[in-house]
Amino acid sequence: IRRQLRLGEDSQWEFKQIEFRGDTPTSPRREDLADELGALAYADGGIILCGVADDGAIQGMSRKQMAALDHLLVEVSTDALEPPLRVNVHHRELDGRAFVLVVVPRGEALHERNGQAFIRVGATKRRLRRDESVRLAQNRAQTRYLWFDEQIVPGTGFETLDERLWEPLLSVSGAADPRRGLSNLRLLARDEADVDRATVAGILLCAASPQDWLPQATVSATHYRGRDRSSGQLDAQEIAGPLSAQIAEAIQFVVRNMRVSARKTPERENVSQYSKAAVFEAMVNAVAHRDYSMSSRRIRLSMFKDRLEVDSPGQLPNGMTIEGMEASQATRNEVIASVFGRIPVANVAGSGDRRYLMERRGDGVSIIRSKTQEATGVLPEYEVIDESSLVIRIPAAKLGLVRADATVTVHSRGEPLAGIEVLALFPNKTWVRATTDEAGDAALDLYTAHLPMTIYAAGSGYAAGLERAWTPSRGGLLLELEPLESGGAAIFAQSTGQLPGLRGRLNPIRDTTDRTYLYADNIAIDEGRQQPVPFRPGKPIRLTDAHGAELAVTIVDIIGRSSLIEYRPFEP
């Protein structure tokens, strides 16, 4: 305490001189004390030294004065603040002078006095604007507050909302009474005068021009010539309108400005600079989860020569971390996210076969990561900037690349193996194949040598060969296969295939939910289990054909429709 008295006030220590009339404290006023307590509570807590001047001098007080001050502090913290704040009050003495030390805990709620809230900034406090109060309360997961998108917008009403936008959202019963249906969706709400008002979500989703009420609710899209903002602009657009239209126009901006090249694999295939599916998910997430209470910020969509960036206002909601984004979900705008599950997606590029803008919450990050890696070989990056915005960076695919020759060499115990089948899988699950020559070399004709590839190698008499994340531009690959007496390995490049010694076809599957299971034609799986039979890569299964031939089969790996399979005689 003595050291802090020398150093003075800071963001966690407040000195408060107390004036008395007799034994009764008269200054500071109850309101000022309440504001100091609330400000410290919301700034992670702190300590107030009552009876200490700004210069650190202890004024001293009697036991009766301290008791009266105790009573005042408890009364202020419980009666003047909503919700009440529990403080700890201690009597202390230093150099023969008594004072009161008040420990203010970190508040888990926003403690207001008559609807006003303060926050500690350095050695002073400042009043919070209403939009800041809502945002800070949400970050503390304070459920007694309405989320910002549930708040009513003054001066609006049922007529503010465009029937063409809200009609597709309502069920048959909701359409029979639109006001009630929209209220159930929290797009309308009653104000204190019992008048229907549009909520923030209602304006953003169902008003023809939401920017008349929320001018910051737009997307600023820019295409730059080079790798930074100083390189000059090639295209720019301020995208407004209801949120569904903003998403569609933003994606169209990207499609219009991104480069596309063609390659033959072996047929002609168009290759885009960015995965449309990844861009779709990035824009849906940005528009659904941005902080609309930040009155001076809009979403920034920036296209550079080597990347695409989406800068969304607001930090991650409810304690979520970048590391946990793929495994968990949280939303800042519960109403918007919910209604996105009702808005038809139409023909927006990158939406795939989905019917609505947001069908399964929490899938967006996984889709962005997987589709970006398929297109570019690397993962997108997320970054929180100044605790006020979340930026995703999607790398651009390298287009117009010169075709490359890459060699995979296959040996066993140091000797080259001829006739071994080699399959090279790109991140997007397309593939090329080759067979090793007398020197054990398989020459792969690739359209690029810069993407990480998965390599399968298989042949009779040898165990399966598997290599992940091989980038040909960094050099050739040598695979060593172990001999496998009376067995071998096989590659099914396109879903189905046959194994030596078994009469029938196998069809291993890895579905979109990452489940793996096996169908077999005229072959019993594990003594006749009901098909399809789930399997775990790397775990043997027993196969028996109609002639009694049996094999112990291990599906070593499966990517897309391609699989690597190892087999040997079944031993009971």
Residues of the chain with pLDDT under 50: 141-144, 266, 402
Same domain, 354 and 432: no
Residue 140 included in any domain: no
Same domain, 388 and 410: no
Residue 272 included in any domain: yes
User: Rounded to an integer, what distance in angstroms lies between the CA atom of residue 405 and that of residue 428?
Assistant: 19
> Closest by alpha carbon to 429, among 306, 566, 557?
557
Contact status, residue 493 vs residue 562, Cβ threshold 8 Å: yes
User: Rounded to an integer, what distance in angstroms lies between the CA atom of residue 118 and that of residue 31?
Assistant: 12
Amino acid 101: pLDDT:
96
Same domain, 156 and 273: no
> Closest by alpha carbon to 80, among 119, 136, 39, 35?
35
* Length of the chain counted residue by residue: 572
Residue 371 included in any domain: yes
Domain total in the chain: 4
Amino acid 464: pLDDT:
97
| CA triple 453-457-461, angle to 5 deg | 170
Amino acid 328: pLDDT:
59
Amino acid 122: pLDDT:
83
* CATH of residue 455: 2.60.40.1120
Residue ending a domain, among 187, 212, 237, is 212
Residue type, 349: A
Same domain, 249 and 371: yes
- Please write the tens of the pLDDT for every residue from 219-261: 999 999 999 999 999 999 999 999 999 999 999 999 999 987 7
pTM above 0.75, yes or no: no
- Domain around 95: 2-128
Residue 60 included in any domain: yes
Residue type, 250: A
Same domain, 208 and 249: no
Contact status, residue 508 vs residue 567, Cβ threshold 8 Å: no
> Which residues, in sequence order, are CB contacts of 143 under 8 Å at separation 6+?
none
Backbone φ/ψ region at 348: left (φ over 0), alpha (ψ -120 to 50), beta: beta
* CATH of residue 29: 3.30.950.30
Same domain, 455 and 497: yes
Residue 143 included in any domain: no
Q: Is the peptide bond before 28 cis (omega within 30 degrees of 0)?
A: yes
User: Rounded to an integer, what distance in angstroms lies between the CA atom of residue 241 and that of residue 204?
Assistant: 8
Same domain, 242 and 372: yes
Same domain, 208 and 223: no
Residue ending a domain, among 196, 212, 228, is 212
User: Rounded to an integer, what distance in angstroms lies between the CA atom of residue 196 and that of residue 490?
Assistant: 68
Same domain, 428 and 494: yes
| CA triple 356-360-366, angle to 5 deg | 115
Same domain, 256 and 315: yes
Same domain, 424 and 376: no
Assigned token pair, 168: 């597709």
Residue 255 included in any domain: yes
- Please write the tens of the pLDDT for every residue from 370-406: 899 888 888 999 998 887 889 999 999 877 554 556 8
Residue 190 included in any domain: yes
Residue ending a domain, among 128, 157, 181, is 128
Same domain, 428 and 531: yes
Residue 409 included in any domain: yes
Amino acid 148: pLDDT:
82
* CATH of residue 363: 3.30.565.60
User: Rounded to an integer, what distance in angstroms lies between the CA atom of residue 163 and that of residue 418?
Assistant: 70
Amino acid 563: pLDDT:
97
